[in-house]
Structure 1
């Protein structure tokens, strides 16, 4: 994960309130930036506003929750704004209680920036929509789902975990901040797969239905059972079966992502095959008599001319 959720009741870094920030506004959204980024923020605020509406639609509410987004353009600025509490690889974080997001703009990574923004928007909207505690797997899984975060590498991680018997139990994902990097990545991927399975059971309305039940005052256990007909224990057992089937060796061989992988391997193989053939041909040309490579009628003419010269 390259974005982080700051869930504690923290005080925002004082640098957020310092001068030097310019500002653009859209309904329910304030974008703050430095003058060096002014040329790109007009399009960005429109995209952020659209992303906010999209996330609210997926959650079934939250369109009236206002957000403030700070845009930084360097690791130094990002660390200064976040008080140095975010790892160097981080490109976004959310302060849900303050409805504030900090993003780090990376060269050539505009889509990743928007993806990170949707992820963080989900955290903030869920925080304000749902007053009770929700499992980390649901919080992170929903954020990854609305941000459309999935990579071929994650398939490999899950496949290896299944092969080695190392899936993280969903309730243990609550302790993800204490995990190693590899185990944390797996936990986040599992969170997304749990939401995928939830949608498999109840359609895309499953997530907003759970959110609605939580807003009504149900516990998460009640909301999950009311939506899927399964207790959390039953849900996890069925989910593990779903993951095992989806990431079996046979299933992975026919996924769209796998097909793209095979096509990439084929292109690389053809490329190197052509290079090897061309090198072999060059070596043959270097060792053979130039006359031998000519068509027969031309070789005869050359031979006759040489005989005549003799």
Structure 2
């Protein structure tokens, strides 16, 4: 699944931004091994108002940081147990953690001669078994990672001397879980595809200058230490700690502990780097299956959404058409009703048409509508000329 996420990120991120990764450098708040002031008796800082103790830790707190210190005391032993399960050894003595709130208290709790850098939010004094914390960072997402990182430097400083830089940083990142970040995977992907994987002998004391190369150095150190831990287990790591503790050079102690040289182990690790971090995992087996399944799911979702939108549009158009048809039918019915209830307009009487109409009416009138002469019976000439018989006269 992480290969799929990486591919999507690479497709969405321009190549010009390949070096814009957050590096686990001083900007992240780690002191990278800490500061080692002189080993002299140190009084308790005046700012400390109390302490919380566990079997292997002593937590000093100020008036503002008591709550953070007591909360941290509840899981600090479990963090140390995890370290032992990876290293195969536990460092001796009681480790002191000083907790303050804000920059002013953080600097006031520092050891004389070991002031924290301006960018640091946590600081380790490995020889003194002391870790300095700003409680404000514990509430953030990187708070516990920062604490684990500083404890890793205390553990290595107490168990032995002469650790190479790549081993210190690689082990610290494995103990904090930083090695599982997508940033690390992307850096190794870039290192493999650009053939920029460094030799570990070149990372013994010095670190690269370019930010992009620094990110690769951290990532490959974490990956190599994780590979060694998985291959040789806590027993092998414990033997390495014991051999380095004798004061012999790291490469010699490495050979005795793992029955192999650093170069041979590095070559074996490099053979699998391309298979784990190159293009191959993105185009084979489960990675390709996940990619294909994701594409099918997305395509099915888009198709289903489109079909649903088309169906809704069709239903809406059908509703509009039915409503228009019903409205037309109602309007036609109302028009018919109005036509039946309205009387016909009167016909105008004038001109020739009026005269013809009058003749027709006279011809159709009954006989008793004939006018009677005012001077009595009509004359014989009138009788002869009249086309109608005389009406009987009543006496």
CA deviation profile, 1:81-137 (whole Å, cap 9, x unmatched):
55764353x44221111111122344785563222222222211221111x412111
- Picking from 194, 201, 218, the partner of 1:164 is 194
CA deviation profile, 1:152-185 (whole Å, cap 9, x unmatched):
1211111112222222221222344563433222
Relative to 1, partners in 2 of residues 1:140 and 1:302: Cα closer, same or farther, differing over 3 Å?
A: same
Q: Is the 8 A contact 2:121 2:137 kept in 1?
A: no
Relative to 1, partners in 2 of residues 1:255 and 1:33: Cα closer, same or farther, differing over 3 Å?
A: farther
**Structure 1 counterpart of 2:258:** 228
1:292 aligns with 2:320: no
- Picking from 127, 136, 148, the partner of 2:157 is 127
1:9 aligns with 2:33: no
Which moves more between the two structures, 294-303 or 90-99? 294-303
Distance 1:262 1:69 in 2: 46
Q: Is the 8 A contact 2:170 2:225 kept in 1?
A: yes
Distance 2:291 2:106 in 1: 39
Q: Is the 8 A contact 1:60 1:212 kept in 2?
A: no
For residue 297 of structure 1, report the CA deviation from its aligned partner.
5.0
1:208 aligns with 2:208: no
- Picking from 81, 99, 120, the partner of 1:71 is 99
Q: Is the 8 A contact 1:137 1:194 kept in 2?
A: no
More helix by share: 1
Q: Is the 8 A contact 2:86 2:237 kept in 1?
A: yes
Relative to 1, partners in 2 of residues 1:37 and 1:253: Cα closer, same or farther, differing over 3 Å?
A: farther
**Structure 1 counterpart of 2:278:** 248
TM (norm. structure 1) is 0.76
**Structure 1 counterpart of 2:78:** 50
Structure 2: runs of 5+ lacking an equivalent:
1-23, 336-395
TM (norm. structure 2) is 0.62
1:148 aligns with 2:173: no
Q: Is the 8 A contact 2:65 2:135 kept in 1?
A: no
Distance 1:303 1:16 in 2: 95
Distance 2:157 2:252 in 1: 19
Larger Rg: 2
1:86 aligns with 2:117: yes
In structure 2, the residue corresponding to 1:31 is in which secondary structure?
strand
**Structure 1 counterpart of 2:326:** 301
Q: What's the RMSD between the two structures over aligned residues?
A: 4.0
**Structure 1 counterpart of 2:166:** 137
Distance 2:165 2:198 in 1: 13
